[in-house]
Amino acid sequence: MTKLICLLLTTFSLLAISPVKAQSKEEKCLQKLSEYLTYVEKQQWNKTLKPIADCAYYAKGAMKLDNEVRILCWYLYLGELIKHNPNNRDDIREYSGLICSYGYKYEEKPKSYGLELIVANAFILNSGYVKEVWKPIQLAKAINVLTRLEQMNVQPVAEKDYEAFYILSGLSVSDAERLKMMQYTVQLMETLSGLEWFNAAEEALDHRNMKGCPFAALFCVQQSEKKNFPNAWALHGNMFENGKVVHKDLDQAVKYYKQAANNGSVWGKIEYASFLINGKIVEKDYSQALQLLNSVAGESDFLRYGGGYQLGRLYEYGWGVEVNREKAMEFYTDSYEKCIWTKLKELSYEGSMRLENKISEELIDAEVAGVDISQMSVDELLTIAQRYEEINAKSKAVIYEIQAARKGSSYSACKVGVKYFDWSKREDEMWLKYAFEVFDIGSKGNYAPCKYNLALMYLYGYGISPNYEKALELYNKYIEQISAEGYEEYSKDNYLGTITGTLYNEEATKKGIPLKKELDDFNNPDELYQWARFRERDSRPEISIYFYTRAAQKGHPKAAERLEAFKKKIAEKQNSSKQ
């Protein structure tokens, strides 16, 4: 024993001190280790626990020690704890966990057979002290450590540096020891139910960014399947559908969902029904989907896994069943409240809002049916328009707002025009045309900003073919009107020039400076050329043709050539589409 103790002290001293100059925690760690070994040599077993406990404690902060040395200190302490104080669960959990954290090399080839056995043993030990849901995960990692020693052909040889330690700790660095640990781990695994393996698989998936958890998730779900737990196949399918710890593979997803459904899984039936509804991988079959969903509609997990959303779709659109919006609304609402999947909750909410709006729209339609719109007052028209807009029936709201604009003030028309322009995002031609129409109606009234905004529409070609002369004419009318009325009336106006997003001060408002500057820019050949190039992406080729033509007329050196190239490009595109 004396020879062994001397060898162990020499080993630790070389490993711990030679790379760096020892710091206080490193010194304390080795001092306590030496004290522990002295008691071991004297076989004073009642005194060994305290110094090795201190040694393990200092090893946590002794960052300049090799990790292997710290692991060996912690393992010695665990051995003493189990012999002398097995009820100290906190320390057993903590120090076995530290060995797992610092010793587990999930993706690297093991370098030390003995240290790998220590890590595997730590996982096995730790599994008895962690939360129940983590027990299968720790056992899975233990199996992983033990099996890869054989798979990677690591030889069961004790390194000279650690040989004395292995002897002292009672660890046999051999394949027999590995097989013994494997057998014990398998025995522990057999005590776990399919539900426990399933819960652990979900937990490992939630922590799949942690070292070893991807392997554990797949291992646990496979163990749950072996125990014939129905939802295990559904979880396996979900992993394949979303590419969680496995490569995304919809064919495999459908395979596992179908197997889960065949084994009675509520989740599996809902997911397989979803594939039947969408026609992904499998042929659309609304009848079978409806049958699957109805068979589990009364189960407690039905809404949790999104069954309400799937049934809601069938009833909303009449897929395999008569259209029943009220029933669909009920399913969507229940799904939104109880489904665990964020995406399905959002879709359920959208579905309920869509149906609610549809029902409201039909009620408004029935209310105004047969009513002569030309006989309605401005207030009545705007009220109906607002009700349609609130349920997102914008195209119907437009009919009443434009009629109101014809009957009402140009201020109201400008307000509506700005709203349509915002909806267009300067790209949607339908809303740009509506905006132009309303600004045109309003410009004939006495609200000057309508003329200003209409000038911008003509200048840029929004909702109408660009027309510089018409824009200039409207600008002059705007200046003439605010000069006569007093610019103070519009100095803080909410709708003046808002379609350009330009902020206005009193001086700018009075003189129409922002619009005047843009008019001047659009008389400049360089500005016209650049704007023509920018508008090439427009759905209407005549926009760029107009600006290239004006740029060429103003003397831009490249405009004429670019114009011809653009016309040729458009012609080729049109010919290609005809073919």
In tens, the pLDDT along 306-325 reads 999 999 999 999 999 999 99
Whether residues 477 and 438 fall in one domain: yes
Give the end of a domain, one of 459, 481, 511.
511
| Inter-CA distances, 234 with 72, 274, 541, Å | 42, 13, 53
pLDDT-based confidence at 501, cuts 50/70/90? very low
Q: Percentage of residues in the chain with pLDDT exceeding 70?
A: 91
Nearest partner of 449 among 488, 490, 483, judged by Cα: 490
106 phi and psi, to 5 degrees? -60, -40
Closest by CA to 118, choosing from 147, 161, 63, 76, is 76
| 432 and 559 part of one domain | no
Is 381 contained in some domain?
Answer: no
Which pair of structure tokens corresponds to residue 375?
């006989």
Across the chain, mean pLDDT equals 89
Domain annotation covers residue 47? yes
pLDDT attached to residue 411: 79
Residues 487-510: what's their mean pLDDT?
A: 50
Range of the domain at 94: 1-171
Last residue of one domain, picked from the residues 468, 489, 511: 511
- 14 and 160 fall within a common domain: yes
- Residue-level pLDDT at 487: 64
On the question of pLDDT at 262 being above 90, the answer is yes
CB 11 within 8 A of CB 165: yes
In a domain, 422, yes or no: yes
Whether 510 has a pLDDT exceeding 90, the answer reads: no
State the alpha helices, DSSP H only, in 207-229.
213-226
* Cα 297 from Cα 270, distance rounded (Å): 10
pLDDT on residue 11: 53
Same domain, 489 and 458: yes
Is the pLDDT at 519 greater than 90? The verdict is no
- Domain presence at residue 41: yes
In this structure, the answer to whether residues 474 and 568 fall within a common structural domain is no
CA dihedral 106, 109, 113, 115 (to 10 degrees): -40
In a domain, 365, yes or no: no
Identify the domain boundary among 171, 203, 231.
171
Q: Are residues 436 and 488 in the same domain?
A: yes
**Distance between CA atoms of 500 and 396, rounded to whole angstroms?**
27
Q: 485 and 544: one domain?
A: no
**Same domain? 471 vs 549:** no
pTM attached to this predicted model: 0.73
> Within this chain, do residues 17 and 104 fall inside the same structural domain, yes or no?
yes
pLDDT tens string 444-482: 988 888 888 899 899 989 999 999 999 999 988 888 887
Which pLDDT tens digit goes with each residue over 85-101?
999 999 999 999 999 99
Type of residue found at 212:
G
Q: Is 242 a domain residue?
A: no
- Tell me: do 117 and 164 sit in the same domain: yes
Residues 552 and 500 in one domain: no
Model pLDDT for residues 207-245, shown as the tens digit of each residue: 998 989 999 999 999 999 999 999 999 999 999 999 999
The count of domains in the chain is 3
Tell me what pLDDT residue 84 has: 93
- Asked if residue 403 belongs to a domain, the reply is no
Report percent pLDDT > 90 for the chain.
67
Statement to judge: residues 437 and 543 lie in one domain: no
pLDDT of residue 507: 40
Confidence grade of residue 338 (pLDDT, cut at 50, 70, 90)? very high
Would 571 be classed as within a structural domain? yes
Which of the residue ranges 67-76, 127-136, 511-520 would you say has the lowest mean pLDDT?
511-520
Predicted local distance difference test score (pLDDT) of residue 16: 45
